[in-house]
Amino acid sequence: MRLLLIRHGQTPANVDGVLDTLVPGPGLTPLGREQAARLPQALGDRGVGAVFVSDMVRTHETAAPLADALGLEPIELPGLHEIDAGDLEGKRDRASVLEYMGTVSAWLDGDRDRRMPGGPDGHAFFARFDAAVSTIAAGGADTAAAFSHGAAIRSWAGGTATNLADHALARHTLENTGIVELDGDPASGWTVVRWEGQPVGGDEVADRSAPDPTGEAFTPPDGATPASR
């Protein structure tokens, strides 16, 4: 099957650079709604047969224009929600952002025992996202659109796809409404067909000034590039 993992549109937390992972979370900014409005034209002819969202408001609002255009009812899968920030929730200082992204980076480097401070370890994250993707695949659609979150998409795709030779979290950005397109299934595995890190609609709906820590390239504190998988 073809799986389109679509990041939600811009939120106030993205603008402020805040780690914001609590359910249900905020809705979209005016720019975020404009980003979402570009999706039907971009994906309307891609044969999307099912639309899935996380349990966070921002994915519901981002998916709505596409789902309405296709006459589909979005299906909520809590397993698609963002990686829990735990004790780092609501923080925006550099040390907290580095701790959050550094933990996720460690998972991709093979240390899934590492735990987010006050939150999940890598095993828990991949298990619940894998379960959500398995549910999507079991639905039988040849092409499905799943609306999720920056760190979650980058981590799952980077840690699951068999053809990513480099470190996806470090080198591949995923801005609001960016899309990671994969082909495969839970049994045989997944490959990334296309990584579209820019917003659907391009520069017209991009906000280059937003800190947006979960969508930007990650550089560890010592400046070293994380090891490849």
Answer yes or no: is 55 within a domain: yes
* pLDDT confidence of residue 189: 96
* pLDDT confidence of residue 224: 45
- Bridge partner list, 121: 115
Answer yes or no: is 141 within a domain: yes
* pLDDT confidence of residue 165: 62
Answer yes or no: is 227 within a domain: no
Cα distance between residue 75 and residue 70, in whole Å? 14
Q: What SS3 class is residue 113? A: coil
Answer yes or no: is 228 within a domain: no
Answer yes or no: is 214 within a domain: no
Answer yes or no: is 229 within a domain: no
Answer yes or no: is 86 within a domain: yes
In which residue ranges of the chain is pLDDT below 50? 223-229
Phi-psi bin for 140: left (phi > 0), alpha (psi -120 to 50), beta?
left
* pLDDT confidence of residue 222: 57
Q: Are strands 189-196 and 75-76 parallel, antiparallel or unpaired?
A: unpaired
221 upstream amide cis, omega within 30 of 0: no
Answer yes or no: is 216 within a domain: no
Residue 99 belongs to what domain range?
2-205
* pLDDT confidence of residue 220: 65
Spatial contact of 9 and 61, defined as CB atoms under 8 Å apart? yes
pLDDT digits (tens, 9 = 90+) for 140-194: 999 999 999 999 999 999 999 999 865 667 678 999 999 999 999 999 999 999 9
* pLDDT confidence of residue 70: 97
* pLDDT confidence of residue 221: 63
Active site residues: 8, 82
* pLDDT confidence of residue 65: 98
Beta strands, E only, 21-157: 50-53, 75-76, 143-148
Q: What is the CATH number of the domain that holds 121?
A: 3.40.50.1240
Q: Cβ neighbours of residue 182 under 8 Å, at least 6 residues apart?
A: 2, 3, 5, 157, 161, 190, 191, 192, 193
The tally of domains found in the chain comes to 1
